[in-house]
Amino acid sequence: MAIQQKLSLMIPGPTPVPEKVLQALSKHPIGHRSKEFQDLVESTTENLKWLHQTQNDVLTITGSGTAAMEAGIINTLSRGDKVICGENGKFGERWVKVAKEFGLEVIKIDSEWGNPLDPEEFKKVLEEDKQKEIKAVILTHSETSTGVINDLETISRYIREHNTALSIIDCVTSLGACNVPVDEWQLDIVASGSQKGYMIPPGLSFISISQKAWEATERSNIPKFYLNLQSYRKSLLSNSNPYTPAVNLVFALDEALKMMREEGLDNIFSRHSKHKLAISNAVKALNLKLFADENYLSPSITAIKTEEMDAEEFRKIIKNNFDILLAGGQDHLKGKIFRVGHLGYVNDRDIITVISAISNVLFDLGKITAKEVGEALVVATKYLEKN
């Protein structure tokens, strides 16, 4: 079997890595207590605050996005605390499990997979909490298991009106893809991961922390050591890290953040939006149906139904014929949907290529006509040409 030398990642993570970032990864490591590394931490921290649109502390942890989310939960809450968890996909489901694992009392607000969470349900539960027993609201912004983005702006407003509850938000696949103005929305904990919009390999996670959240850390009684955020905060005062960090990933982070800053936030958000629209409208032209509510499509990934064929077999054909990796469905959606990632270092050519590949396989399977293949590409191009 030939070794694949040019596998195209069109999944929600890991995402494609720019050449400059790969070159940064290949540098000789330096001492993580050296002045050179401290300068690197200072630079990346400044740019992380820019990306988060915040003046809050933004900490870097060697670990996946799940580590950052777990850190946000265990550093600000105590056993027995009452929390709301939003669940409308695999990752919302995960935070319910994590919260229960640490002895939290969970009020679950859910929605059928493929639909967004209803902000009014959060409002209702928060307003009924007259004794202010609810200590946090935990939810996923961009639910990549289903291709849905939740209305974080509205939900965060209801959390602020409660005055007591913290917002603990999984922005792993939304940060760097769409607008997440941390200070404007007064988000308390925002977690993200390196292998998503940051365009670098897996291994780092990031967490922004408000002053309100720092105050909550003084009351938390859940045990923590490696993920004790107070240790990271203390180290950050000297542009350092409490433990040995993934030095070469920080080299990559520095390069990636510089690229993002050069592109600019508005351009980054616009690029992800047009790629979302190009994919979602092209697949409809191919007589495929979107899995997610069309008014709440994630800028990071598009989930597509395969009602008359097995999605796993379809993905296999795409990979074998075109060296393009698509994501499959999770849990009960396995074999029923496939997901096209358009997150991070993805350009217009990648979008046209994946649409062409999907079209080609559908045509070979006798699902569509040559005319529909052409129409899908025309539709996609229309959206890609928009500024």
Taken in order of first residue, the domains within the chain and their CATH numbers are 8-13+265-384 (3.90.1150.10), 19-262 (3.40.640.10)
- Residue 151 φ/ψ, nearest 5 degrees: -80, 75
**Where residue 307 falls among pLDDT bands split at 50, 70, 90?**
confident
- Residue 386 has what pLDDT? 78
**Where residue 282 falls among pLDDT bands split at 50, 70, 90?**
very high
Greatest Cα pair distance, the chain, in angstroms, is 64
108-154 tens-digit pLDDT = 999 999 999 999 999 999 999 999 999 999 999 999 999 999 999 99
User: 10 Å Cβ neighbour count for 81?
Assistant: 23
- Rounded distance between C-alpha atoms, residue 386 and residue 206, angstroms: 32
CA 306 vs. chain centroid, Å, equals: 24
Task: Give the chain's length.
Answer: 387
DSSP 8-state class, residue 145: T
Residue 362, both tokens: 């559908």
38-84 tens-digit pLDDT = 999 999 999 999 999 999 999 999 999 999 999 999 999 999 999 99
- Residue 1 has what pLDDT? 44
Mean residue pLDDT across the chain: 96
**Where residue 2 falls among pLDDT bands split at 50, 70, 90?**
low
